[in-house]
Chains A and B, each alone.
With several copies, the nearest count.
Chain A
Amino acid sequence: MHKPRMHLVASFDIAHLQYLDEQGRASQELPDFATPDTLQALYRQMALARLVDDRAVKLQRTGRLGTYPSTLGQEAIGVGTGSAMDSADIYCPYYRETGALLERGVDIEEILAIWGGDERGQCFQHAPEDLPLCVPIATQLLHAAGVGVALKYKNEHFDEPQRVAVASAGDGATSRGDFYEALNLAGVWQLPAVFVINNNQWAISVARSDQTASQTIAQKAVAAGIPGLQVDGNDVIAVRAAVADAVERARRGEGPTLIEALSYRLCDHTTADDAGRYRPAGELERAQKREPLARLAHYLESAGHWNEDAETELQRELAEILEREVKAYSSRSKDRPAAMFEHLYAELPEALYEQHDELAERGGDR
């Protein structure tokens, strides 16, 4: 049979954004925000995230922390995303988030407390409206859509300035229905929402190519009729530029965006994982050459805005901050057992008095 004639009804392009190449050279004119000060600040936050991660892994190894998911190699995504948001915007994080949380003002002590098995870490004293870290994969994307509904509604009904919901997830998360349902709703309701995917090439041991046949994650936006783009996730300038642009469009009422940030997980999935079991030989080494901190440092150095002394001074300052926070974490008192009832409902129902009291007694609260 000869090939039938078909009529074109729709076309889509997926584009990729990069400012700094792998050697830290500007591959195009940098965006306006990329002043030396701002770039140094971004570098600082990525360096801090790396230190926190490193320490957290060590704390876990010595039994002082539970399972911990490091962001090693992916710091540009969290920091770029967080730095592109207004503090009044709402962040709906997944769990691999150290950089973004630091940008959002979450205390290092809080981050450690969460992974140290203490709900009080989720209090986010300096980001009180952000959602807690989210473990069930992709579920937070629907929360972000819901937050977007509320922010749009409050803007229209309560004259609140338009705020934006930003959510993050991993590449594996894009296989879940929640991801797609969130994007679809955001599209059809034109929600002020930005979805940032940390495509670190792995979902635990499942490689990106075994996760989906789509050539890019960004093109999944096509299914929802929303814009989708790829950024170099090891280029913090690109991440910040893309997220900032998406956030501003959302703020202007122009709807949601899906951003795929390409990076690589330069570490085990978590401290409970051993990537040696499944990672092909050589892959890690190749990826290491593209990592985000060295790249930005190279750029700043070659532009004359960074040097060894600055680095030493920065590391000293960050180490001090870290020590202080780790100390605060280590000296926290344990939560009271009865606390597990005290926030279950706004008011403890009578039906739970007995159980609550038994627990309070056991915890020595009374």
Chain B
Amino acid sequence: MAEITLVEAVTQALAHELDADERVLVLGQDVGANGGVFRATDGLQERFGADRVRDTPLAETMIAGIAVGMAAQGLKPVAEFQFMGFIYPGLDQILSHAARLRNRSRGRLCCPIVYRAPYGGGIRAPEHHSESTEALFAHIPGLRVVVPSSPARAYGLLLAAIRDPDPVVFLEPKRIYRAARQEVPDDGEALPLDRCFRLREGGDITLISWGASLKETLAAAEQLAEDGVGSEVIDPATLKPLDIHSIIDSVEKTGRCLVVHEAARTGGLGAEIVAQINDYAFDLLRAPVQRVTGYDTVMPYYQLENYYLPDVERIVAGARAVLDYSHGGGR
């Protein structure tokens, strides 16, 4: 079996579901003949027809909004926003309608929609092309927010997202779209949307991250291991609803935790994870849970983007600070 990249795994999952379920439609800007600007829909229109894989006019509010109407009539739209930076005009329709239709109709209608978007920085892209604002979506009741971090997880989680009866915001870390290859059998096996993935076992510190940042997080874990520090690396993958219990299980063991994310720090999802660890495992913490994140400023144009993104050095330093922490007394 050939090894495939993350973006190819996305294509494979889309093809699998287009093939399996005629209610599934793919739509977005340039998803047709062009196969998407990242080629995530490459070949799909040719294979399934322009009715199943549709180029839309250039209007994100429209894309977000028609998906609601389509879903209310039993279709399963998989809508692509070309970049996460262009999802915002769709936010009203996602927040006010997609996320609420089931609830406000008391279960009469629902929105089995997947809103996909390439996400994050690090590819020398132009302005507004490097957003990671998952926290905005993770705050919205009624949504699921999913970020895959490997080809296999991209495949399994996207299958699950498409089959899920409720709306899912599926954010694809484009920096690692082609970073690694993996054998991913096209077996239609979905992965659960309510479980964290443990990517590495270790007893000294829990490192939590998702998406592209896991690359640096795993490298940091490797570096820490050279110094004899055992890191447990956890990928929540589904950021909302969050499987906090798997995280707590790990923190129970390590007593120390660092959250790494690319998004701006303030109000990022790291804060919620810190707060929930505090809720459930305060007594077990041997140091405050800390965060290594993007800065609280606008993602810079690409010349400076590597300063913005958490790198191995910052992650190792962050972990060190957690590991070296000792109570100053007080309690």
A363 to B307, CA, bound (A): 8
Is the pair B65, A139 in contact by a Cβ cutoff of 8 Å?
yes
| A350 interface neighbour in B56, B107, B243, B301, Cβ under 8 Å | B243
> Which residues of chain A are within 8 angstroms of B61 by Cβ–Cβ distance?
142, 176-178, 181
Is the pair B69, A204 in contact by a Cβ cutoff of 8 Å?
no
Q: Mark A50-69, 1 if CB is under 8 A from B, else 0.
A: 00000000000000001100
B249 at the interface (CB under 8 A from A): no
- A78-127 residues with Cβ-Cβ distance < 8 A to B are 90, 92, 95, 114-120, 122-124
- The verdict on A122 contacting B57 (CB below 8 Å), with A278-B33, A334-B303 known, is no
B203 at the interface (CB under 8 A from A): no
A188 to B56, CA, bound (A): 9
| A205 interface neighbour in B34, B102, B165, B242, Cβ under 8 Å | B34
A129 at the interface (CB under 8 A from B): yes
Selected interface stretch from A229-237, A250-258, A314-322, A336-344: A336-344
Selected interface stretch from B180-188, B207-215, B290-298: B290-298
A294 at the interface (CB under 8 A from B): no
Selected interface stretch from A4-12, A130-138, A284-292: A130-138
Task: Across the interface, name the chain A residue whose C-beta is closest to B112.
Answer: A346
> Which residues of chain B are within 8 angstroms of A238 by Cβ–Cβ distance?
none
B104 at the interface (CB under 8 A from A): yes
Q: What's the least CB distance linking B166 to chain A, in Å? A: 5
Is the pair B72, A122 in contact by a Cβ cutoff of 8 Å?
no
> Which residues of chain B are within 8 angstroms of A343 by Cβ–Cβ distance?
102-103, 105-107
Is the pair B34, A344 in contact by a Cβ cutoff of 8 Å?
no
Is the pair B297, A185 in contact by a Cβ cutoff of 8 Å?
no
Q: What's the least CB distance linking B45 to chain A, in Å? A: 10
Is the pair B69, A150 in contact by a Cβ cutoff of 8 Å?
yes
A86 to B241, CA, bound (A): 41
> Which residues of chain A are within 8 angstroms of B301 by Cβ–Cβ distance?
114, 117-119
The number of residue pairs between A and B whose CB atoms lie closer than 8 Å in the complex comes to 251
Q: What's the least CB distance linking A133 to chain B, in Å? A: 8
Task: Across the interface, name the chain A residue whose C-beta is closest to B32.
Answer: A205
Q: What's the least CB distance linking B247 to chain A, in Å? A: 11
Q: What's the least CB distance linking B68 to chain A, in Å? A: 5
Grouping DSSP codes into helix (H, G, I), strand (E, B) and loop, the A interface class, with mixed when no group exceeds half, is helix
> Which residues of chain B are within 8 angstroms of A128 by Cβ–Cβ distance?
108
Q: Chain A, interface size: which category?
A: 35 or more
> Which residues of chain A are within 8 angstroms of B32 by Cβ–Cβ distance?
205, 278
Q: What's the least CB distance linking A37 to chain B, in Å? A: 33
Q: What's the least CB distance linking A267 to chain B, in Å? A: 15
> Which residues of chain A are within 8 angstroms of B102 by Cβ–Cβ distance?
343-346
Task: Across the interface, name the chain A residue whose C-beta is closest to B124.
Answer: A66
A188 to B55, CA, bound (A): 11
Tally of contact residues, B, Cβ under 8 A: 78
Q: What's the least CB distance linking A217 to chain B, in Å? A: 12
Q: What's the least CB distance linking B81 to chain A, in Å? A: 12
Q: Mark A322-366, 1 if CB is under 8 A from B, else 0.
A: 000000000000110101111111100111100100010011000
Of A66, A148, A156, A278, most buried by chain B (CB within 10 Å of CB) is: A66
Of A129, A188, A272, A340, most buried by chain B (CB within 10 Å of CB) is: A340
> Which residues of chain B are within 8 angstroms of A124 by Cβ–Cβ distance?
105, 108
| B73 interface neighbour in A90, A278, A345, A359, Cβ under 8 Å | A90
Selected interface stretch from A23-31, A41-49, A206-214, A301-309: A206-214
Is the pair A177, B89 in contact by a Cβ cutoff of 8 Å?
yes
> Which residues of chain A are within 8 angstroms of B97 by Cβ–Cβ distance?
136, 139, 143
B62 at the interface (CB under 8 A from A): yes
A149 at the interface (CB under 8 A from B): yes
Is the pair A153, B72 in contact by a Cβ cutoff of 8 Å?
no
Is the pair A139, B66 in contact by a Cβ cutoff of 8 Å?
no
A149 to B266, CA, bound (A): 35
Selected interface stretch from B22-30, B170-178, B218-226, B254-262: B22-30
> Which residues of chain B are within 8 angstroms of A150 by Cβ–Cβ distance?
69-70, 72-75
B304 at the interface (CB under 8 A from A): yes
Give the 5 A-B CB pairs with smallest separation, nearest first: A146-B69, A142-B65, A146-B66, A150-B73, A117-B302
Kindly list 14 other residue pairs between chains A and B, CB separation below 8 angstroms, not including A175-B58, A337-B307.
A117-B301, A119-B105, A132-B101, A142-B62, A143-B72, A153-B51, A176-B58, A185-B66, A205-B30, A205-B55, A343-B105, A345-B102, A345-B165, A355-B295
- 13 A-B pairs within 8 Å (CB atoms) are namely A122-B108, A132-B109, A139-B96, A156-B51, A176-B59, A272-B37, A277-B33, A278-B32, A340-B295, A341-B297, A343-B102, A346-B166, A350-B194
B-side residues, CB < 8 A to A, are 22, 25, 29-30, 32-35, 37, 51, 55-62, 64-75, 77, 85-86, 89, 92-93, 96-97, 101-110, 124-129, 141-142, 165-166, 194, 241-245, 265-266, 295-298, 300-305, 307-308
